[in-house]
C-alpha cells in the first residue's frame, strides 16, 4: 500500500502562477524526495530533503518538511506549460534507508498557456 | 546516453506466456530497483539489488516473478504465466553509492491480453 498521499490529486493553473502540492506520510523517514513524471515516461528526480532539514530550494522549486506533522509541500513558482506533469513524493524510511522508496499517488499538474 | 535504459519499451503478450524485461543501470551505480506502476497510481516497489545480491522483495512479487542481476550489472525481470493483472508499467531505477536519489529508466509497458 502507498504510504504517501498527495493533495490535491489534480491541479490546473495558468502559466506564471505558483503551484503548491502537499504530501503526507506515516512512518519515520530518513529523507523525502519529489519526482516528476511526464505522461507515459519514467520519473525524474527533482529535489531531496533530509529529515533534519525544514526547507530547501532548487531553482523554481521550494520544498518544506514538517516531521512533527509528517507532511511536506512542493512549491513551483512562476509555472510554465512545460511543468505539466504528475508529481510524486517518495519517502525513504528511516529503518531501512536505501532499500526502497514508497511513493504517493501523485498530483497531476496542468499548466495552461 | 548514460542514463538508465530498459528494453523492450512495450510488450504485448497473451495470458499464460512468459515475458522478460531488461534494465541497464547507470554504470557506476551499485543499487538497482524494480517498481511497478499502474494507471493513475504511484510506483510500487518490487525488489532491489545491491551489486548482484537481491536484498529485498516486496510481497507484491509473487512466485511467478523472478529477478536477477548477474555480475552486478544489468538486471532482468521475468514474469511467468502472465495474467491480465500483470498489465502495468515496469520501471527500473538505479542509485549510486552515498546518494539517495534514484534515476529511473523510461519503463517497459506490459499489456497482457
pLDDT (tens digit per residue) in A13-71: 999 999 999 999 998 999 999 999 998 788 999 999 999 999 999 999 999 999 999 99
* B107·A42 Cβ contact <8 A: yes
| Closest partner CB to B101 (pick from A40, A45, A102) | A45
> What's the pLDDT score for residue A1?
33
Sign of CA dihedral A85, A5, A25, A99: negative
Q: Residue A3 pLDDT > 70, yes or no?
A: no
Q: Rounded distance, CA B39 to CA B107, Å? A: 13
Per the CB < 8 A criterion, the answer to whether A36 and A46 are in contact is: yes
C-alpha count within 13 angstroms, C-beta hemisphere, residue A68: 1
The parts of chain B modelled with pLDDT lower than 70 are 1
Q: 39-78 in B: which are within 8 Å (CB) of A?
A: 40-45, 48, 55-56, 58
* A88·B40 Cβ contact <8 A: no
Chains A–B, number of C-beta pairs less than 8 Å apart: 64
Q: Which three cell numbers stand for residue A35?
A: 519526482
> What's the pLDDT score for residue A68?
95
DSSP A59: T
Cβ atoms < 10 Å from Cβ of B76: 14
Bridge-based pairing of strands B108-112 and B10-13 is: parallel
Average pLDDT, chain B: 94
| Closest partner CB to B45 (pick from A33, A43, A102) | A102
Tracing cell 522483495 back to the chain, one arrives at B57
Predicted confidence band of residue A89 (pLDDT cuts 50, 70, 90): very high
Cβ atoms < 10 Å from Cβ of B14: 8
Start-to-end CA span in chain B (Å): 33
Q: Residue A99 pLDDT > 90, yes or no?
A: no
Per the CB < 8 A criterion, the answer to whether B18 and B80 are in contact is: yes
> What's the pLDDT score for residue A4?
65
> What's the pLDDT score for residue B108?
97
Q: Residue A75 pLDDT > 70, yes or no?
A: yes
Q: Residue A95 pLDDT > 80, yes or no?
A: no
**Mean pLDDT over residues A93-110, rounded?**
85
**Mean pLDDT over residues A76-101, rounded?**
89
Per-residue b or e along B64-74, where b marks 16 or more CB atoms closer than 10 Å to that residue's CB: ebebebeebeb
The vertex-A23 CA angle with B108 and A86, nearest 5°, equals 35
| Closest partner CB to B43 (pick from A30, A40, A103) | A103
Name residue B112's beta-bridge partners: B13
Q: Rounded distance, CA A11 to CA B35, Å? A: 26
Amino acid at each position: 500500500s502507498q504510504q504517501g498521499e498527495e493533495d490535491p490529486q489534480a491541479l490546473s493553473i495558468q502559466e506564471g502562477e505558483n503551484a503548491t502540492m502537499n504530501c503526507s506520510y506515516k512512518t519515520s523517514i530518513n529523507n523525502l524526495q519529489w519526482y516528476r513524471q511526464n505522461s507515459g515516461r519514467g520519473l525524474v528526480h527533482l529535489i531531496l530533503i533530509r529529515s533534519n532539514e525544514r526547507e530547501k530550494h532548487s531553482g523554481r522549486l521550494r520544498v518544506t518538511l514538517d516531521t512533527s506533522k509528517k507532511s511536506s509541500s512542493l512549491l513551483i513558482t512562476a509555472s510554465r506549460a512545460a511543468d505539466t506533469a504528475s508529481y510524486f513524493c517518495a519517502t525513504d524510511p528511516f529503518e531501512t534507508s536505501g532499500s526502497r522508496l514508497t511513493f504517493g499517488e501523485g498530483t497531476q499538474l496542468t499548466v495552461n498557456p | 546516453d548514460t542514463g538508465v535504459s530498459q528494453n523492450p519499451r512495450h510488450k504485448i503478450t497473451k495470458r499464460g506466456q512468459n515475458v522478460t524485461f531488461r534494465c541497464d543501470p547507470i554504470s557506476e551505480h551499485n543499487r538497482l530497483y524494480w517498481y511497478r506502476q499502474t494507471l493513475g497510481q504511484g510506483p510500487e516497489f518490487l525488489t532491489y539489488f545491491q551489486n548482484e545480491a537481491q536484498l529485498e522483495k516486496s510481497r507484491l512479487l509473487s512466485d511467478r516473478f523472478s529477478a536477477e542481476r548477474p555480475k552486478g550489472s544489468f538486471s532482468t525481470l521475468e514474469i511467468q504465466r502472465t495474467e491480465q493483472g500483470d498489465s502495468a508499467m515496469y520501471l527500473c531505477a538505479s542509485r549510486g553509492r552515498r546518494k539517495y536519489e534514484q534515476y529511473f529508466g523510461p519503463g517497459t509497458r506490459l499489456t497482457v491480453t
